[in-house]
Amino acid sequence: MWTTSYILSQVFSACAYIIFPLTFLTRNKKNILLLNILNSVFYLLSYLFLAGYSGVIVNAISIVRGITFFIVGELYQKKEYYSLTFFVVATIALSIVFYRSWVDILPMIAGVSFTYAIWQKNVEVYRWIVVIGSVLWITYNVLIFSIVGMIGEVACLVVETIILIVYYVKQDTNKEENGDVSIEVQPSPQENIESNDNENF
């Protein structure tokens, strides 16, 4: 079990989970994208050494997607559909090409759903998709026996759940302060950045 490849996979996985929290500590959109690209590189290397090729595919696409968003980020402000369609189709197509077992379906679903999550603008939708994605990655890491991946994803799921709870608490507080009148709660600038740019991968 504790082969050189396995140890390297866990080291790269640990690096990815060290970088991930940094995306919450910056307000700069491009910095968040750069951190997510670096994060995906470490995930890719981790899954490569574990022979988890569906995880490699999803993170390779994430790297290309992150670079694309970094260069032509304004396209997302206009809510165009071309890049969304391209990355969704690419994720599904490559996952099918490299399909080996039903386990490979998990990262494919996580990759497709996260692509949509960072493309759309609704903070609540983004939060739920990220939580669901973490559950999928936890399951995948358990099945390919990535110890650091399991621990890291569980930690991320806890943080994401707390953020989701805080989001709903703020909504309820705003409703109470406005006489319980139904209003549309606008996300803060930080939430907008996270909803468009942040990735677990």
Question: Hey, which bits of the chain come out as E strands?
Answer: none
Q: Nearest CA to 43 among 157, 163, 144, 116?
A: 144
Enter the tokens of residue 136: 């999928």
DSSP 144: T
3-state secondary structure of 86: helix
Give 10-residue mean pLDDT values along the chain (201 residues).
82 84 66 82 90 85 83 59 86 86 89 82 76 88 83 83 81 72 48 44 37
Q: Is the pTM of this model over 0.75?
A: no
Distance CA 73, CA 97 (A): 29
Write down the residue that tokens 């559909």 correspond to: 81
Q: Nearest CA to 133 among 148, 111, 152?
A: 111
Burial category of 170 from C-beta neighbours within 10 Å (exposed 0-12, middle 13-18, buried 19 and up): middle
Asked if residues 121 and 79 have their Cβ atoms less than 8 Å apart, the reply is: yes
Q: Where do the structural domains in the chain lie, given as residue ranges? A: 4-197
Q: How far is CA 181 from the centre of its chain?
A: 34
Distance CA 190, CA 51 (A): 36
Q: E strand or H helix at 114, and its extent? A: helix 105-119
Position 67 scores a pLDDT of 86
